[in-house]
Amino acid sequence: MMTIELIVLGVAVGTLSGFFGIGGGTVSVPLLMMLGFGIKEAIVLSVMQMVFGSFMAALLHKKKKTYSISDIKYFGFGGLVGAMFGAMLVKVLDEVLLEWSFLAIVVFTLIRFVMSSPQPTRPEIINRPLYVVIGSFIGLFSGMLGVGGAILMTPILVTFMGFELKKASAIGLFFVLFTSTSSFVTLGFLGMLHWQAGLVMAISSLFGIGIGIYLLEKIHIKHYKQVLIAFYSIIFALTAYKIILG
């Protein structure tokens, strides 16, 4: 029965991942916790799903020429290092601290989306060293909380770096490829991977990625922001419910 639930969750997470430009951990971690997994198990399964899903998304976005990787790859280089250290923290940090840290990230993202404009209000900032620093910072939280990092990357790109919302979402998912791979290797080295459940969820998520990216192309930018706010409000409610009442 749990296998069926993981398949359904994988497809759903993949669709949301492609549409919202997230790795999937923002959704899968709280839902896996509601299915009975502990926060650390949920983080590990989430990371495994993100490796598969973000790779598929990167291939699709490359085909559609959504962005050029010549500059944005430097976000990923920083994310590789940050996520490695973040994944190490999973083993030593208290579960309660991880849960409240996850909730705090969701709150930050929700507030930034409410306050931001979906269209750029300034030129895009192109600064490769700054991209590495931002990537490292986000990667640390990514590896620590089992999220790809797009939950932080997207609002930062839109609010502070002058990126258009849909493009920022796509770049955020590209960034996930780096952070999730780094976290995956580190968690494997620490002996924390759950192969059977992780592969079931990861492979299932591939079917949803294409659907999500297709929907992203079709939705109007104004409506996209509204859906993003509603989405993160639901994630906040689910996470808060689990932490406070669960």
User: Could you please report the per-residue DSSP string of 140-171?
Assistant: HHHHHHT--SHHHHHHHHHHHS---HHHHHHH
Residue 133: the pLDDT is: 94
- What rounded mean pLDDT belongs to the chain? 85
pLDDT in tens, 84-116: 888 888 778 887 888 788 788 888 878 877 887
pLDDT in tens, 150-160: 778 888 888 88
Total domains, the chain? 1
Show the domain range for 46: 2-244
pLDDT in tens, 21-31: 877 777 888 88
Whether the predicted model's global pTM rises above the 0.85 cut: no
